[in-house]
Amino acid sequence: MGLRERKKLETRRRIYRTAVALFVERGFDNVSVQEIADAAEVSKMTVFNYFGSKEDLILGPMLEHVGDACRAVREREPGESAVDAVRRQFLGMVETREASVGLHGEPFARQVRKLILGTPVLMERAFVAVQKSTRDMAAALAEETGDATLALIAASMLSAARNALIEEHHSRIDAGESPDAVAADAAERAGRAFGLVEKGLSGYAVKT
């Protein structure tokens, strides 16, 4: 990464962390983009150059991962089913303790999640993004199989299993368990969850 790219990344991180700190202190609705720009020592235009909207200041990192399961389905190898692809990707993220699957114990990341859960406009946009990802996965499966109804059912099942596992990770850590303790049985629980889906989707969407 060149000097220019590093400076851009540093600026983006500074704006992001400044925004989160202000939102946590005063509430999302009580902080303006201009105030964020002033605190981060950049112009308001610079903030919008890095983040398309005020909501993106918080949701941006999450939205980068909301389509992970859909990508796993689209990019799976011949002979691999949709459920195998999503399970493989998820287990890989568990192994590397990805924040996107709820296994990161950093206080800052958990502050962001609490902020999203406590702000209706952010929750609504997050919900819409998750629903869009499910529809995108369904569209990819429908294109392969020719059955849009079953494709939507399959995508919904896969998304629901994945989201339930992530929510469990968050809930356990919020309740006081360490990320290490949660990660210790995460792979086993994921195996059971996707195994349950697989029983209903056995043989469905095996790529040729």
**Separation of alpha carbons 119 and 28, rounded Å:** 7
SS3 75: coil
> Of 107, 11, 117, which Cα lies nearest the Cα of 59?
117
Q: What is the pTM (predicted TM-score) of this model?
A: 0.84
Of the CA atoms within 13 Å of residue 150, those in its CB half-sphere come to: 14
- With beta carbons less than 8 A apart as the criterion, state whether 116 and 62 touch: yes
| Chain centre distance of CA 205 | 24
Q: What is the per-residue pLDDT across 174-205, written as a single tens digit (0 to 9) for each?
A: 899 998 899 999 999 999 999 999 988 777 77
- In this prediction, residue 1 carries a pLDDT of 66
> CB burial class (10 A; 0-12, 13-18, 19+) of residue 18?
buried
- In this prediction, residue 104 carries a pLDDT of 79
Domains assigned to the chain: 3-54 (1.10.10.60), 61-201 (1.10.357)
Per-residue pLDDT of the chain (208 residues; tens, 9 = 90+): 688 889 999 999 999 999 999 999 999 999 999 999 999 999 999 999 999 999 999 998 788 899 999 999 999 999 999 999 999 999 999 998 888 898 877 788 888 888 999 999 999 999 999 999 999 999 999 999 999 999 999 999 999 999 999 999 999 998 999 988 999 999 999 999 999 999 887 777 788 8
For the beta carbon of residue 91, count every other beta carbon within 10 angstroms: 16
Instruction: Please write down the long-range contacts of 193-200, taking CB distance under 8 Å and 24 or more positions apart.
Output: 193/161, 193/164, 193/165, 194/83, 194/86, 194/87, 194/90, 194/161, 196/161, 197/83, 197/157, 197/158, 197/161, 198/81, 198/83, 198/84, 198/87, 200/157
Q: Report DSSP state, residue 65.
A: T
The tokens describing 96, both together, are 């590397």
- In this prediction, residue 60 carries a pLDDT of 83
